[in-house]
Structure 1
Amino acid sequence: MTPADRPVLERLWLLFRHDMSEITGALPDPTGQFRRERLDVTFTDPGRSGILAHLESDDAPPSPVGFALVRGLDGPTRVLSSFFVVRGARRSGVGRELAAHALASFPGHWEIAFQDANPPAVRFWRAVATDAVGHVWTEEHRAVPGRPELPPDTWISFTSG
């Protein structure tokens, strides 16, 4: 991802945070924006990166349909800090392709969090882990830092590449 991708990523970020608000209860601020620290730091921290996903059409330019943001590239563990595919592209395989591309682009030890209250995410991330490493992955629940009112996140861990 390059700085030129930022305007597209900022628009997709709003859709992502809106989708997640159903799970997290997060609301926009008075300007209509959702928190975006994870997005902003992706463009300034060398230990972070991102990948944009596009879908091609015969009669139109490629459409941006999702993203994967990764942190920990300067340490022993890569963490998928944010992952999103627009609703119109879900169940097309683009999400699995994006996840596989992220894992292949940054091989090493991975941790991926999701919420049990989001059943499609539960199925999706278990399938991604199995696609990547077979059944050599672990799953555990961890409290959300600074958010004791939230149920714990589920974390999948494995080593790819």
Structure 2
Amino acid sequence: MPDVVRLATDDDRPTMDRLWLMYRHDLSEFDELLPNADGSFRDEWLHQAFTEDDRTPYLIVCDDRPAGLAFVRGLSGPARVLNSFFVVRGARRRGIGMRAAQEVLARHPGAWEIAFQDNNTGAVRFWRRVATELAGEAWTEDHRPVPGRPELPPDTWISFDTPTKSHT
């Protein structure tokens, strides 16, 4: 089966910008943030994924069409963080998200941390399943405050190690 993830390039920026807007719109249900006056959402993570050496953006594809995005940070640190992950609704529940998560995590073997909100029940089930698929029972879950947002409930963080065999 062909990969469903590829490194996003500068040529992908317009597509990633649109996917980011969909992602932030979906998350607004859980973090209670309204769009900016111009209809956009905060997008510093999008820009950082393309400009900072310690981060990398991935485009998720399905049938050669954009199906989502994934941003990784902490590439040079002790643990990588999947700080954004999104699959468009039309591609969900088809195994694409699981394959995309596995491919992204396999490209950067070692320690991982992934955050999500407890009230996002789909994300709770998905990330626990990803952790179990990749690490068996050797993963942990804890709650951490959302930086700069004391009014929000803490994020849930899953931590685990992926095998050291790199993606080929």
TM bracket (short chain): over 0.9
Identify the structure with bigger relative contact order (alpha carbons < 8 Å, sequence gap 6+).
Answer: 2
Structure 1 residue 93: deviation in Å? 0.5
Counterpart among 154, 157, 160 of residue 158 in structure 1: 160
Gaps of 5+ in 2: 1-7, 164-168
> Which aligned pairs between 1:10-159 and structure 2 lie closer than 5 A?
10-56=17-63, 62-159=64-161
Mapped partners of 1:2, 1:75: distance in 2: 23
Q: Secondary structure at the match of 1:49?
A: strand
* Matching residue's letter, 1:108: G
Structure 1 residue 153: deviation in Å? 0.5
Q: TM-score, normalised by structure 2?
A: 0.91
Q: Give the number of aligned pairs.
A: 156
* Matching residue's letter, 2:98: R
* Matching residue's letter, 1:153: D
Gaps of 5+ in 1: 57-61
Cα displacement string for residues 55-87 of structure 1 (whole angstroms, at most 9, x for unaligned residues) = 11xxxxx21011110000021110011000001
Query: 8 Å contact 1:47–1:74 — kept in the other structure?
Result: yes
Mapped partners of 1:96, 1:77: distance in 2: 20
Q: Which runs of 4+ in 1 moved over 6 A?
A: none
Mapped partners of 1:32, 1:67: distance in 2: 20
CA-based RMSD:
0.7
Identity %: 58
Query: 8 Å contact 1:67–1:98 — kept in the other structure?
Result: no
Mapped partners of 2:51, 2:95: distance in 1: 30
Counterpart among 8, 11, 14 of residue 7 in structure 1: 14
Mapped partners of 2:108, 2:57: distance in 1: 10
